[in-house]
Amino acid sequence: MQKRRLGNNGLEVSALGLGCMGMTWAYGAPGDHAEMVALIRHAIDLGITFFDTAEVYGPRTNEELVGEALAPVRDKVVIATKFGMALDPNGGARPIGLNSQPAHIKAVADASLKRLRTDHIDLFYQHRVDPNVPIEEVAGAVGDLVKAGKVKYFGLSEAGAATIRRAHAVHPLAAVQSEYSLWTREPEQDILPVLEELGIGFVPYSPLGRGFLTGAFAAGTELADDDWRKTNPRFQSDAMQKNAPLVESLKSIADTKGATPAQIALAWLLAQKPWIVPIPGTTKRARLAENIKAADVVLTPADIEAIESAVASHVIAGERYDVRGMAMVNL
């Protein structure tokens, strides 16, 4: 697989990464541990070198899974993890708030290093901007971790343009991670222009619309009670029914390319900028192989125009998060 650079300071990763969250958290029952370890190692065999996790995905167990899977090849891969969430001290599955106090950031880094079985974190993102802690203090704390050799690169997740500028002025950002896909286009308005100006990479998460853009969902699809999407506005039955025509349009375009809707959605992202690295997640080998083949799909200007036209003809129903989630993005 081809490589791409994130930022201007030498961070090089595979053109597609692997989001590991769903292996232990959010989308129903966790995958079998041994199978998930094998899946991550299979991804390496297929050319992926970039793996995304977080302290909160479990909580805690996702980092342990990733650390175990990647320990034998640690020097050949890039591990991204995140700080900034306040975890439930009673072990609840959802974060209870935000905490980017410098002392907490450094404590999280030390704990993540142990769980990941490594002496350094390649890319350390602030998971969500904490309005109670100036971003300059956050950047300074991560800068201290870089100086100590515990972290190599600094990133932000779901940060607004002004916050990105302020953080980057204190310590260079290698990447910003935000939701971006054919049904979530907001980063194009303010974020992508700032990243291009400052030389910062972009890592779209949920590049397949949390699975919806693969065509795996229909209006009557029943989600498990422990599947986070069950309460997501876009996965309510009426919203899925309204959004289904977008997927049908992608299927039509995919058929002309001998591809799948998922591959078209990922290829479209890769075609936007050479410094964009999507991180689709999966728990299935077949989906992993399908996603990776998207890197080989060549979209012509006519293909891009057809995709853009298809998207423009559909109004996306539902916010991408509930009210609580939307309050923590673009700060």
Phi and psi at 51, nearest 5°, equal -125, 130
On whether the CB atoms of residues 158 and 82 are closer than 8 A, the answer is: no
CB atoms within 10 A of CB 74: 15
How many CA atoms does the CB half-sphere of 244 hold within 13 Å?
13
Q: Report residue 262 CA to chain centroid gap.
A: 16
On whether the CB atoms of residues 7 and 172 are closer than 8 A, the answer is: yes
* Greatest Cα pair distance in the chain: 54
Selected catalytic residue, list 27, 57, 125, 153: 57
Q: If you ran DSSP here, which 8-state letter would residue 57 be given?
A: T
- Tokens at 119, concatenated: 């002496």
**Residue 57 annotated among the catalytic residues of the structure:** yes
Buried b vs exposed e over 180-217: b needs ≥16 C-beta within 10 Å? bbbbbeebeeebbebbeebbbbbbbbbbbbbbbbbbeb
d(CA 186, CA 316): 12
Strand stretches in the chain, DSSP E: 3-6, 11-14, 18-19, 50-52, 78-83, 85-86, 97-98, 121-126, 151-157, 173-179, 201-205
- Tokens at 183, concatenated: 């049904």
In angstroms, how far is the first alpha carbon of the chain from the final one? Answer: 34
Catalytic residues: 57
